[in-house]
Amino acid sequence: MKSDGSDVVMSLKNVSKIFVKRKFLRRSIPFYALENINLDIEKGERLSIIGESGSGKTTLARIASGLDKPSEGSVFWFGREITKLKTKKFKELRPKVQYIHQNPYASINPSRTIFSVLADPLKRYEGEVDSIEKKVADLLRSVGIVPPEFFFNKYPRHLSGGGLQRLAIARAMIPKPEIILADEIVSMIDMSFRAAIVKLLIELNEKTGITIVMISHDIGVARYFSHGGGRIAVMLRGRIVEIGPPDAIVDNPIHPYTRALILASPVANKRLALKKRELLPKYNIQKEVWESEIMKMKGCRYAFFCPFASEKCQEEKPELTDVEKDGKHKVACHMIEEIPAWELESVG
């Protein structure tokens, strides 16, 4: 329990993941997919993690789920460091943390009926039960696959992308997890069905109190998901650069990269789109830089692209620091004082 009374169910402490990437001339340089991540996730929280492709979202989620090991640092579940757990205890806690894969076509066996996709793990976790049909029907109903009996003998191919993700969510709920990490689960779904899946996750969170971490590269999806008490974390090249409630991140962003991300996101309103396009160069210098150059630099990973970059930014990595007294909004930037007031009232 934290001093403010909240329960932390998952923590990442100084977590880094290094992949050695080969460069030219047989020299290989370490590539930090994650660098010094510190993150506490609270019980019942709806946390969104956003960032462009390659920023380390999946790496973070897989390490947090215990599927991969960090190169440095530690992962804690319910206050216990997972690498220090005895095998028996780890196996006991394992089902409490569920990871839902970005691609349901790859994670659900297409040759099994929808009934057996759910019935088999149900039997594994609960043993042989008389009422298995009822349990499968209840699960399908809880994720909006209705009428459930109609789908019992159908195959995953009979479901839409959204339907498949509903099935993946139902399967993840079987071990009665306390934490679900959903990795880009709406990215392969038609725009028109995305809101319904995110709404389903919100309802599950509200009804059962389950902690949900949702990864997305869409700031609009993140705002919708984390609205009402959740947080959004913004990742840039393996680091969390800003974290806070959606009101702070979307309506009052501070980090130049968060601002650029918001300004680059598409909106339907033409006037707003024009304004955003005009403002973007204020927060992002467009230039081509070798990835190896960025990885080699000592300081901020945004320094090549940041119009506010100073000498200190080249030399020293900024750490997350509080910008609000309540400690909820944190930003990793050396030049916070120099960043002007945010220009947009509505970001669409």
Ligand X SMILES: Nc1ncnc2c1ncn2[C@@H]1O[C@H](COP(=O)(O)OP(=O)(O)OP(=O)(O)O)[C@@H](O)[C@H]1O
Residues 46-65 that bind Mg ion (CB under 5 A): 57-58
Q: Is the Cβ–Cβ distance between 234 and 255 less than 8 Å? A: yes
Q: Which is nearer to ligand X, 103 or 116 (CB)?
A: 103
- Residue 51 interface partner, choices ligand SF4, ligand X, Mg ion, none, CB cut-off 5-8 Å depending on type: ligand X
What are the structure tokens assigned to 84, written together? 């220090």
Alpha-carbon span 292 to 257, nearest angstrom: 20
β-pairing, 97-100 with 179-183? parallel
Residues 33-52 that bind ligand SF4 (CB under 6 A): none
Q: Which is nearer to ligand X, 50 or 164 (CB)?
A: 50
Contacts with 52 (C-beta within 8 Å, 6 or more apart), sequence order = 217, 236, 261
Alpha-carbon span 212 to 169, nearest angstrom: 11
Q: Is the Cβ–Cβ distance between 301 and 238 less than 8 Å? A: yes
One character per residue 12-51, x = contact with ligand X (rule: CB under 6 A): -------x-------------x-----------------x
Fill in the amino acid letter for 134.
K
What are the structure tokens assigned to 109, written together? 């066996």
Q: Which is nearer to ligand X, 170 or 235 (CB)?
A: 235
**Residue 209 — left, alpha, or beta (φ > 0 → left; ψ -120 to 50 → alpha)?**
left
One character per residue 239-258, x = contact with ligand SF4 (rule: CB under 6 A): ----------------xx--
Residues 309-328 that bind ligand SF4 (CB under 6 A): 309, 313, 318
Which of 16, 59, 65, 205 contacts ligand X by CB under 6 A? 59
233 contacts ligand X (rule: CB under 6 A): no
**CB neighbours of residue 37 within 10 Å:** 26
H-assigned helices in 209-255 = 219-226, 246-251
Tell me the window of 21-29, 119-127, 219-227, 297-305 that interacts with ligand SF4 (CB under 6 A). Answer: 297-305
Residues 329-348 that bind ligand SF4 (CB under 6 A): 333-335
Nearest approach, Cβ of 308 to ligand SF4 (angstroms)? 4
What are the structure tokens assigned to 119, written together? 């019935």
Residues that bind ligand X (CB under 6 A): 19, 33, 51, 53-59, 217
Residues that bind ligand SF4 (CB under 6 A): 255-256, 300, 302-303, 306, 308-309, 313, 318, 333-335
